[in-house]
Structure 1
Amino acid sequence: MNFIDLKSQYERIRTPMNERIQKVLDHGQYIMGPEVVELEQRLAEFVGAKHCIAASSGTDTLLIAMMAIGIKPGDEVITSPFTFIATGEMIALAGAKPVFVDIDRRTYNLDPALIEAAITPRTKAIMPVSLYGQCADMDGINAVAAKRGLPVIEDAAQSFGAYYKGKASCAVSEIGSTSFFPSKPLGCYGDGGALFTNDSALAKIMAEIRVHGQDRRYHHPRLGINGRLDTLQAAVLLGKMDIFPDEVAKRAKIGARYSELVNEAFRGIDDPQKKVTTPYLAPDCTSVYAQYTVEVPNRPKVEEGMKARGVPTAVHYPVPLHLQPVFAELGQGEGTFPISESVARRVISLPMHPYLTEDQQVAVVKALKESVLA
């Protein structure tokens, strides 16, 4: 069994995908070719944003966004400690200090009620993470940000295709940033990412930063990075766009069925040491289930049990950012963010992709129950 099945996806779109790749090979514009422009137009239309800036990765897009709004050394950016390293890493690489705020216990996303207390005169942005495929509480976060005059950058690396109260992820804040890493709901065959905004001036700045701060050939009014998207990756993403809405629908169905199966499997088991928690979907939200993640007791035992039964799993993420050695200088040890720390010890992700069969899901949940109860 595959944790993520890109092969089945490719077989579904083999012919149009190969044709798009061949077209790039024929015209030879391998960097920022016409497919990049086409992709930006399609992505902007899909999200409902005025502007899309395709870029080299979902990590680089975070840095580009912060550079565009003027984040500099000495500034602070508020974010979640329960996320992939890239979120905090880019804040630090921009010269700023990541200021962590604990998460909502049910959604695993930034808790808006805790943000205001973390704001200081040095706070220059808020960067919520839309983890596991579901948007953070963007109304709550945007309200705090508006009150304090702060821009919001949604780290939507895992939630592209999800909706929050009728609005698409990446269109629910001043800037949306996403990733097209191969395992993402919409992934290319290498690294890739994109930025979204309705602010035309901001879009222009981000587009310039992406190409070494260049506004025209060999003219550089600002510092930038090499954040360009390869044309081949744009072609791959265009090849997947036609089936993406169908895959999003399949992910929602598979995620819901997983929850039904898991809840049924553990119904009537009251022992907290045998309890499994399924994902919580907030009202008026959808999820693309970039991961289908449950909480289990004694995770090492469960991991071994699943492995022995031939079912791959992963942990997203075992160590919160404030406990990573690279951020030790922040002086935030065990107990600083108790919800993030508790969740990090319990989460485990099950196989998740649009091509999971019902029989495979049944087998996964059977293995999960046997591993937990063993």
Structure 2
Amino acid sequence: MDDISTSTLFIILGVLILVSAFFSSSETGMMSLNKYRLRHLSQSGHKTAKKVSALLERPDRLIGLILIGNNLVNIAASAIATIIGLRLYGDYGVAVATIGLTVVLLIFAEVTPKTLAAYFPEKIAFPASYVLAALLVPFYPFVWGLNLITNGVLKIFRINLDNREDSLTHEELKTVVNEAGALIPRRHQDMLLSVLDLENVTVDDIMVPRNEIVGIDINDDWKDIVKMLTHGTHTRILLYRDTLDDAVGFVHSRDVLRLLSKTQFCKETLLRAVREIYFVPEGTPLNVQLLKFQRNKIRIGLVVDEYGDIQGLVTLEDILEEIVGDFTTTMDVPSANNIKQPDGSYLVDASSSIRDLNKQFKWKLPEDGPRTLNGLILEHLEEIPTDNLCLRLFGYPIEVLDIKDNMVKQVKIFPHLYRKRRIAVR
């Protein structure tokens, strides 16, 4: 070393710092790569992506190679810096070299290259993969020995390296969709999120409640039955005897039109056209029910509880609307029963579904209890109100306007006065 000039040592030291920066940036770049994008590029035939994927299949070998190279370079740089320090500052040269090299390495060989690699991992990792793959050949014995020792230490602590989890959880996948930004249109993001949420929504959440099911009592006068059949707005009509619990079956409007064209159209011929009822247990998740509808080639079913009593009606269209949104209305336009007032309040039909209100107006009413606003109010009051009153329900000021048949029929909600504190004022 005494024969090498100081200027040459400075040049060697600069090269070693650059090599250290290469190893540091390579490590961060390799570990910061989006593994799903990398997998896509590899499957698409991207040669560099395949090389990077091959290196990342054994991250212990890759990290071992990088750390061996980085430590060798840093130790060599430290030795050269010490020689330079002794030549320039004598006995104080060791301290000067230690402090100076530490600052230089932190700035130019650690923080700066690693920050750059963290922001642009592909631009750093892809070119570096060729150098690392070439270095792995001569350094393989050292890397293998190092991995043998480190893996042995990990086994002592009962850490199994074979149980790596590369799959995304349900919530992580939702986060990926939410953060897709401009890559996926907002409308498509909503649809994907709705598909992911199907397992968290049951048929009870979207069914037509029992009291709103439109059906025909087969024991009514025949003229009334024909009038309801010809003036009905639904494609499938439920037939029952006296009560919904004695349901007969569904009749399709197409079959009704065919029967009306015949001269002999009576109750007997109508009953022969009835289709068998498909029953759905309450609490069935929508993703399960969607598959059942598809498997059985059925589009409509009656939701029953554990006692066999009919609770509501669910259709294939209801499930599809949970994914793509309403077919006939838009969530941005209030329904006829929920009207915005000039003062910012809303006149709301209390029989409205809480989920629909939250989706339509972006409110935050709880969905884990009663399914209608009327039910939520009655649960909170713990009694059926006899007079109009005001209350604050889960932060929303509400004025009860109409009470009829032991039910709250209409309320006025003031969402612009919403407060997060859950206090009730009667």
> Which range, TM-score by smaller chain?
under 0.3
> TM-score scaled by structure 2?
0.20
Q: Which has the larger radius of gyration?
A: 2
Higher relative contact order (CA 8 A, sep 6+): 1
> TM-score scaled by structure 1?
0.22
